[in-house]
Amino acid sequence: MFVVKSDIMGTIFGIFLTSLILAMAFTPLVIRVAKTFNLVDRPSARKIHSIPVPRIGGVAIFLACLLGGASCFFYKTDITVTIFQDSRIYWLAFGSLMIFGLGFIDDLWRLGYLAKFSVQILAGIVAYNGGLRIELVTFFPLHSLAQTGLSLPVTVFWVVLVINAINLIDGLDGLAAGVGFLVCLVLLILSVLGGRYVPAAALAALAGSLLGFLAFNSHPASIFMGDGGSYFIGFMLASVSMMGSIKGQTAASLLIPMIALGFPLMETIWSTIRRFIYGQKLFSPDRDHIHHRMMALGLSQRRVVLILYGITVLMGGFSIAMVYAHDNKTALLLLLFAASVIIGIQKLGYLDFLRRDSFRYWLKDVSDEAGISLERRSFLNFQMAIQNSKDIEAMWENLTKALQWLYFDLIELRMENQSPLPGQDVHFFWWNKERDGDADKDRDSFLKRKTLMKLELPLTSDDNKTSNGNVTYGTLWLVKDLKRDPISYYTMRRIEHLRRTVIKTIEKIGKAET
């Protein structure tokens, strides 16, 4: 090694330039290898591209970043001495190798989400053990996480969150690589301003590799980064952002990188909320991400990417401004940031359900399932009365009360053949003909009405089975005049609850009598 004059910015720029050159050299080689071994991403209904594209571009990003960062080993300045004396760099390299390996294997052989999340969590633990951890969150009520035992789970959550955030936005040519590069620049500026030269060097290496790769990944892309690349970028950004506070006196040290990563984090959090609300699988891919919504508005792929670049730059500006803002100005910036996010989500049509009855019905469903609503609690009393019936007559009486509460006009219960009640053929009948006054005094005339809802429910046990299948104890027949009493929002759900309760009660009574 040879000694040169200490030049911090020159060293950081040298790392950046080396990584840039290496990425531009490695990427064409990776493209050839991918095509030779058919490691390509094929078109599908969920994807934008129309031709097979190599999908292991993460190899070029990883090698360029690793070798570009290690290049400073061959010359000695004040900053390089500091870098190699910081043990966190070695843990960062080990964790990034682990998470890149996970993504690369997933690119070759698709892994299940449990395997992927397990290794991501393990990578978060590795970062924590290596000193890359969140110990102080000054905007959090508990303030010091190290004293509460929350430092490890919060650190792991942050690492897993950012990894998947970058992975989720990797849906358009150049989007993840470009956003990652811009976030790197923002964090690099903040690191240099805060005198944190070790993370600055790591960010310079990552930024250079991303810019070099972007030359081949921009639309139309000749290579994709794959999960290997997106996982590696996410782990690097999450880990480096934890290498000390941005500025000692700032009141929002973690909030600053969170805002810099605002777009990918917002995409991840909102995708999870959206899938939960609409009953979709949380980890299944779809075409309802922010960039998909923007293209659905008629924007081209290139324009969408440029707009999202602009949003990332704007959020980076927010981050830099927060470093020098006083507390009252910080609050105003956060308010503006939150308002911008809400307006953006609304413009993309994600909040349409808030303006329709569907959201009201969704809240009703949640309160009903949780047993909070008055109607659900009242109905539960009828269920408990049926379940606690001592004999079949008491069960019928309680069942009739419940169905009258639901405004049914005719109820009939028949049990025979395989009934658990030995030697009994049960037949109960109730008809509320008094409600009609003098009209339709006979049952046949009543049943000819055109406004009746008729339900024939088999009392089939889910637990008792024979060689011919499930055992059916009998039939519950229900009739309701919808002209007189329209069906309520939860009637059919209540009926199914009653059917299951009746079956369980019949089995309990049968066991008690045998």
The pLDDT value recorded for residue 343 is 63
Q: Which residue has the higher pLDDT, 509 or 215?
A: 215
C-beta of residue 88 within 8 angstroms of C-beta of residue 124: no
Cis amide prior to 28 (ω within 30 degrees): no
The verdict on domain 373-513 having CATH code 2.40.50 is no
The pLDDT value recorded for residue 338 is 62
Q: Which residue has the higher pLDDT, 335 or 197?
A: 197
CA distance 291 to 288: 8
pLDDT band at 423; cut points 50, 70, 90? low
What's phi and psi for 2, nearest 5 deg? -125, 155
Q: Three-state DSSP class for 183? A: helix
| pTM of the predicted protein model | 0.69
C-beta of residue 110 within 8 angstroms of C-beta of residue 42: no
Of the ranges 88-97, 135-144, 450-459, 499-508, which one carries the lowest mean pLDDT score? 135-144
The pLDDT value recorded for residue 251 is 39
The answer to whether residue 202 scores a pLDDT higher than 80 is yes
pLDDT band at 339; cut points 50, 70, 90? low
Segment of 188-197, 222-231, 497-506 carrying the highest mean pLDDT: 222-231
pLDDT band at 257; cut points 50, 70, 90? confident
The residue type at 403 = L
Mean pLDDT in residue range 443-469 = 77
| Dihedral sign from CA coordinates of 76, 81, 87, 89 | negative
Give the gyration radius of the chain's Cα atoms. 32
pLDDT band at 422; cut points 50, 70, 90? low
Of the ranges 96-100, 101-105, 128-132, 240-244, which one carries the lowest mean pLDDT score? 240-244
Burial call 480-506: b when 16+ CB within 10 Å, e when fewer: bbeeeeeeeebbeebbebbbebbbebb
Q: How many CA atoms lie within 13 A of 49 on its CB side?
A: 22
CA distance 16 to 192: 14
Read out DSSP for 217-237? HSSSPS---HHHHHHHHHHHH
Segment of 61-65, 298-302, 340-344 carrying the highest mean pLDDT: 61-65
The per-residue pLDDT for range 315-333, each reduced to its tens digit, is 888 777 777 665 555 556 6
CA distance 498 to 416: 20
Angle of helix 8-36 relative to helix 197-217, nearest 10 degrees, comes to 40
Q: Which residue has the higher pLDDT, 11 or 142?
A: 11
User: Nearest CA to 283 among 428, 168, 406, 408?
Assistant: 168
pLDDT band at 425; cut points 50, 70, 90? confident
The pLDDT value recorded for residue 230 is 96
> 414 forms bridges with which residues in the sheet?
427, 475
The per-residue pLDDT for range 103-124, each reduced to its tens digit, is 999 999 989 889 999 999 999 9
Percent of the chain surpassing pLDDT 70: 75
Phi-psi region of 440 (alpha: psi -120 to 50; beta: other; left: phi over 0): left
The pLDDT value recorded for residue 9 is 83
CA distance 209 to 56: 15
Instruction: Give me 11's structure tokens.
Output: 């060293």
Segment of 24-33, 83-92, 181-190 carrying the highest mean pLDDT: 24-33
- Average per-residue pLDDT in the chain? 81
Instruction: Give me 487's structure tokens.
Output: 């069906």
pLDDT band at 314; cut points 50, 70, 90? confident
Angle, CA of 316, 321 and 325, to the nearest 5°:
150
CA distances from 9 to 28, 183, 188, 406, 408 (A): 30, 19, 11, 77, 81
Percent of the chain surpassing pLDDT 90: 34
The answer to whether residue 78 scores a pLDDT higher than 80 is no
The answer to whether residue 1 scores a pLDDT higher than 50 is no
User: Nearest CA to 82 among 11, 136, 150?
Assistant: 11
Instruction: Give me 100's structure tokens.
Output: 């890149």
The pLDDT value recorded for residue 342 is 60
Mean pLDDT in residue range 214-230 = 93
Burial call 8-36: b when 16+ CB within 10 Å, e when fewer: beebbebbbebbbbbbbebbeebbeebee
The pLDDT value recorded for residue 439 is 47
CA distance 71 to 68: 5
The per-residue pLDDT for range 10-65, each reduced to its tens digit, is 889 999 999 999 999 999 999 999 999 999 988 766 666 668 899 999 999 999 99
Q: Which residue has the higher pLDDT, 246 or 495?
A: 495
pLDDT band at 299; cut points 50, 70, 90? confident
**Cα 358 to the chain's mean position, in Å?**
21
Question: What residues does each domain of the chain span?
Answer: 2-355, 373-513
